[in-house]
Amino acid sequence: MAYLPKEDRYTAMKYNRCGRSGLQLPAVAFGLWHNFGGMTLFENSRAMVRKAFDLGITHFDLANNYGPPPGAAEENFGRILKQDLHGHRDELIISTKAGYEMWPGPYGNWGSKKYLVASLNQSLTRLGLEYVDIFYHHRPDPNTPLEETMSALDLIVRQGKALYVGISNYGVEETKKAIAILKELGTPCSIHQMSYSMFNRWSEQGLLSLLKAEGVGSIAFSPLAKGLLTDRYLKGIPADSRAAGSSIFLNPQDITAEKVATVQRLNELAAARGQSLAQMALAWLLRGGQLTSVLIGASKVSQVEDCVGALKRLDFTGDELEQIEEILK
Ligand code: NDP
């Protein structure tokens, strides 16, 4: 049956302005790092994208190397766009990135102009698109002048292959320099994609305040600590979880008794607020409007639904915030 997006899809979602740009992004965005590769069930990936769009998630995040194999997530998302969302391109914000190893030889990795331009051309072919909405440099390159990497982003925008550009995994000082170079080139840095969760708070040490002062948007990746900040691992390691699967990014050794004890206490607090732990973890990141978006992943349609449900309760009492600090100590 042909997919017809829900007519009321824009009613429940919250849209936040991305820094000082004209772009509004959904408070919850959907990332395709896991569960969109060649080894996963295509119909499940497709169902998650449909559900996300029905819930007002307009922003889908990719990278050249998402799979496995690298490139497969862009190819699969390209198929879904064609099959289900072809009439809705102007309602979508699609982002991709380059910065990690993608093809052999000296031009398939890091931050040269050669790599970034070629990689985006390949991504557009896989996605079946003429342009992406946001193109990121995925990680800093210590051996390429930052001016060259930033001028590649500027070129890509002038070529019409991306509308906005961003950086990811850049530290505070690198971010400051990148923002300044892009400003001078006339293509603003629109967004920074950083790791941020209750278990990973490095961006609170200067990055978030810098982005706010500079009018740059912020989107937190792995906001659920790859699944740890949910009820997933409270009773062991489920066979269908990321930790049990072939992903090298979360392993059974990461699910320590100490972590589970912390998660258990957070889970009780979330229940007292009338939320799932995933919902509370997302609401906590969005507290006080400090971020533009949280960028979730999922393996099931029900998880996408649960995560968007976080928006029903974003406020925290002072006491709840103190309890969270105490638990995280
Ligand atoms: P999360 O921290 O949101 O973890 C997602 C995992 O959490 C899911 O796969 C699922 O685990 C579990 N989960 C999600 N929702 C629920 C729920 N409601 N209840 C219970 N469990 C839940 O994010 P990811 O690590 O997947 O990263 C998200 C996105 O961020 C990526 O897709 C990518 O776009 C981006 N990213 C960017 C990086 C960068 O360098 N710029 C690096 C990493 C990610 P399970 O699969 O076990 O069911």
Please tell me the chain's helix, strand, coil percentages from 3-state DSSP, rounded to the nearest 5: 45, 15, 40
Looking at the CA of residue 32, tell me the nearest atom of ligand 1: 32
| C-alpha–C-alpha distance, residues 328 and 5, integer Å | 40
| Tokens 């550009």, located at residue | 165
31 CA to centre of ligand 1 in angstroms = 7
Residues paired with 296 in a beta bridge: 30
Is the CB of residue 61 below 6 angstroms from any atom belonging to ligand 1? Answer: yes
Is the CB of residue 242 below 6 angstroms from any atom belonging to ligand 1? Answer: yes
Question: For residue 202, how many other CB atoms are within 10 A of its CB?
Answer: 12
Looking at the CA of residue 307, tell me the nearest atom of ligand 1: 18
H or E element: which one contains 280? helix 277-285
pLDDT of 39 reads 86
Is the CB of residue 192 below 6 angstroms from any atom belonging to ligand 1? Answer: no
Question: For residue 8, how many other CB atoms are within 10 A of its CB?
Answer: 10
Backbone angles phi, psi at 34, to 5 degrees: -110, 155
Nearest CA to ligand 1 atom 36: 221
pLDDT of 210 reads 98
Is the CB of residue 136 below 6 angstroms from any atom belonging to ligand 1? Answer: no
256 CA to centre of ligand 1 in angstroms = 19
| Tokens 């100490």, located at residue | 258
Q: How many helices and strands (H and E) does the chain possess?
A: 10, 10
Half-sphere exposure of 190 (CA within 13 A, CB side): 21
242 CA to centre of ligand 1 in angstroms = 9
Nearest CA to ligand 1 atom 26: 297
Tell me the CA distances in angstroms from 194 to 76, 156, 202, 328, one per residue in order.
25, 22, 9, 20
Answer whether 54's CB lies under 8 Å from 10's CB.
Answer: no
Answer whether 62's CB lies under 8 Å from 94's CB.
Answer: yes
| C-alpha–C-alpha distance, residues 21 and 6, integer Å | 28
| C-alpha–C-alpha distance, residues 264 and 253, integer Å | 18
Which tens digit of pLDDT belongs to each residue from 269-290? 999 999 999 999 999 999 999 9
226 CA to centre of ligand 1 in angstroms = 5
55 CA to centre of ligand 1 in angstroms = 18
- Which residues have C-beta within 8 Å of that of residue 79, sequence separation ≥ 6? 42, 46
Among 198, 126, 183, which Cα is nearest to 151's?
183
Best probe residue, ligand 1, of 101, 194, 263, 303 (max atoms within 8 Å of C-beta): 303
Structure tokens given for 180: 């300044």
Bridge pairing between strands 59-61 and 93-98: parallel
Using 50 as the pLDDT threshold, list the residues of the chain that sit under it.
none
Is the CB of residue 295 below 6 angstroms from any atom belonging to ligand 1? Answer: yes
What's the CATH architecture for 15-328?
A: Alpha-Beta Barrel (3.20)
Domain extent listing, the chain: 15-328
Residue 88 carries which DSSP code?
G
Taking the complete model, does pTM exceed 0.95, yes or no?
Answer: yes
- Which residues have C-beta within 8 Å of that of residue 234, sequence separation ≥ 6? 260, 263, 264, 267
| C-alpha–C-alpha distance, residues 136 and 152, integer Å | 11
Nearest CA to ligand 1 atom 18: 303
pLDDT of 12 reads 86
Question: For residue 145, how many other CB atoms are within 10 A of its CB?
Answer: 12
Cα torsion 294, 175, 142, 163: sign: positive
Is the CB of residue 126 below 6 angstroms from any atom belonging to ligand 1? Answer: no
Best probe residue, ligand 1, of 34, 64, 136, 305 (max atoms within 8 Å of C-beta): 34
